[in-house]
Amino acid sequence: MLIREGNILIERMNNFMDIKKQGFATRQIHAGKESNSAGALCTPIYQTSTFEFDSVEQGGNRFAGTEDGYIYTRLGNPSTARVEAIIAELEGGEAALATASGMGAISAALWSLIEAGDEIIADETLYGCTYALLAHGLTKFGVNVKFIDMADPSNLKDALSDKTKVVYFETPCNPTLKVIDIEETAKTAHEYNSNICVVVDNTFATPYLQRPLELGADVVVHSATKYLNGHGDVIAGVIVGKADFITTCRMFGVKDMTGAVMSPFNAFLMQRGLKTLDIRMERHCANAMKVAEFLHDHPAVDKVYYPGLKDFEGYEIAKKQMSLPGAVLSIELKADREKTAAALNKLELCTIAVSLGSDETLVEHAASMTHSTYTPEELKAANISEGLVRISIGLEDPEDIIADFKRILDELI
């Protein structure tokens, strides 16, 4: 690689240091760093739809894959390549593909894996639109989808069949924070058939807390809209896995099937957000633990769902596979749905909004918002109660978040 130092062009190894041996913080800042003609410290926003070829032959070679180089931003762009390099490095995957949204990542990955007649086994508790894609979208094209509770690995054993191509789950799950044993689930699927692709949505944990590929999963997907970007200003996604599979996702799943490509500008914001992933996650989780303990002991609160609480069902598995319990929690209040809504409307610091993983604390009612794609019967089957309130704990001072909740909850006693 050529880099400019003063007026002299010098050659330097691309891997100027062995990035694999560096710590998480170093890698989130330095992975995938390449020189550019201006010597810009940060990867620039390559705001271009297409790339010049020196000749017709060169263009042809790039299309044929016999020569490296960029072609058209739907197929790749240096700004998005930087994000892909960082996330692949942090998740421990061979490669990654940046997408326009989390749903873009999930749909591009699934379109790349399945065909009519195949079967997907999915956990029954999923982000609402993922559930809709599986239950109402892919089933229109001859794909069979079975929903089971993967918290009990024996359910997967019973559900697997010779048609199973994909095992799909989130952990912790949106919105109940249910925890699924990644190692056990991947082992069960692969023992049945080593070709089954185990896909884990790692949005709630991020690679700072949990790395599914190291635990036996084949593919990781993310809504990078959340913690990976971290500032509530981008919609983005990413797929991580083996290099061959990521190439299929790029050259078929995104290029032909979804077109869900990340924009260079969003890639720039992503790259910027990723630099602080570890310190943000530390603070998010520390804040969440304090708020969870407060809510747990408040008399107006019936139940707290948070993997960091010892009496939470998923506590032990979370402890085994996550370095910290995350920063999303859900609660059920003793008050009915109407009184719960009236109380939440009085929050002043915390904002009523969907999404999560932002710097701000966001509060939402799952049944009427993120999980409104589920029918009341489906909500019940997925253990998502009608009154469930999900809170994404932000980076504010925890005392202020607690004070905001204390004020509205005290009125309900």
Catalytic positions, please? Answer: 74, 127, 201, 226
Rounded Cα distance between 413 and 402, Å, is 16
Q: Is 235 in the site for ligand LCS (CB under 6 A)?
A: yes
Rounded Cα distance between 303 and 19, Å, is 44
- 58-66, 124-132, 186-194, 243-251 -> range binding ligand LCS (CB under 6 A): 124-132
Mark 368-405 as b/e (b = at least 16 C-beta within 10 Å).
eebbebbeeeebeebebbebbbbbbbbbbebeebbebb
Is 207 within 8 Å of 233 (Cβ atoms)? no
Q: Is 354 in the site for ligand LCS (CB under 6 A)?
A: yes
**Could you tell me the smallest distance in angstroms from the CB atom of residue 223 to ligand LCS?**
3
Indicate the helix (H) or strand (E) that contains 321. helix 315-321
Going by C-beta distance under 8 Å and a sequence separation of 6 or more, which residues neighbour residue 203?
A: 102, 127, 170, 174, 221, 222, 223, 226, 227, 357
Q: Cβ–Cβ contacts within 10 Å for residue 77, how many?
A: 27
Would you say 28 or 130 has its CB closer to ligand LCS?
Answer: 130
Q: Is 370 in the site for ligand LCS (CB under 6 A)?
A: yes
Would you say 36 or 351 has its CB closer to ligand LCS?
Answer: 351
Would you say 90 or 300 has its CB closer to ligand LCS?
Answer: 90
**Could you tell me the smallest distance in angstroms from the CB atom of residue 39 to ligand LCS?**
33
Q: Is 170 in the site for ligand LCS (CB under 6 A)?
A: yes
Question: In the range 329-348, which residues lie near ligand LCS by CB under 6 A?
Answer: none
Question: Which residue among 102, 172, 232, 394 contacts ligand LCS (CB under 6 A)?
Answer: 102
Question: Which residue among 232, 237, 387, 394 contacts ligand LCS (CB under 6 A)?
Answer: 237
Rounded Cα distance between 175 and 66, Å, is 46
Local structure of residue 5 (DSSP, 8 states)? E
Q: Taking each helix axis as running N to C, give the angle between helix 277-296 and helix 398-410, from 0 to 180 degrees, rounded to the nearest 10.
A: 30
Q: Cβ–Cβ contacts within 10 Å for residue 326, how many?
A: 29
Q: Cβ–Cβ contacts within 10 Å for residue 252, how many?
A: 14
Q: Report the greatest alpha carbon distance in the chain.
A: 75
Q: Is 355 in the site for ligand LCS (CB under 6 A)?
A: yes
Exposure of 301 in the CB half-sphere (CA atoms within 13 A): 21
* Angle 76-36-89 from CA coordinates, rounded to 5°: 55
Question: Which residue among 89, 181, 201, 218 contacts ligand LCS (CB under 6 A)?
Answer: 201
Q: Is 127 in the site for ligand LCS (CB under 6 A)?
A: yes
**Could you tell me the smallest distance in angstroms from the CB atom of residue 370 to ligand LCS?**
4
Question: Which residue among 223, 258, 266, 287 contacts ligand LCS (CB under 6 A)?
Answer: 223
Helix (H, G, I), strand (E, B) or coil at 45: coil
**Could you tell me the smallest distance in angstroms from the CB atom of residue 134 to ligand LCS?**
12
Question: Which residue among 79, 171, 176, 203 contacts ligand LCS (CB under 6 A)?
Answer: 203
Local structure of residue 6 (DSSP, 8 states)? T
Tell me the residue number closest to ligand LCS, measured at CB: 102
- 13-21, 100-108, 269-277, 402-410 -> range binding ligand LCS (CB under 6 A): 100-108
The radius of gyration of the chain from alpha carbons, rounded to an integer in Å, stands at 22
**Could you tell me the smallest distance in angstroms from the CB atom of residue 167 to ligand LCS?**
16
**Could you tell me the smallest distance in angstroms from the CB atom of residue 406 to ligand LCS?**
25
**Could you tell me the smallest distance in angstroms from the CB atom of residue 126 to ligand LCS?**
7
Query: How far, CA to CA in Å, does 334 sit from each of 20, 30, 301?
Result: 50, 48, 6
Would you say 128 or 387 has its CB closer to ligand LCS?
Answer: 128
Question: Which residue among 28, 43, 77, 101 contacts ligand LCS (CB under 6 A)?
Answer: 101
- 28-36, 39-47, 69-77, 99-107 -> range binding ligand LCS (CB under 6 A): 99-107
- Which residues in this chain contact ligand LCS in the complex, by CB under 6 A? 101-103, 127, 129-130, 170, 174, 201, 203, 223, 225, 235, 237, 354-356, 370
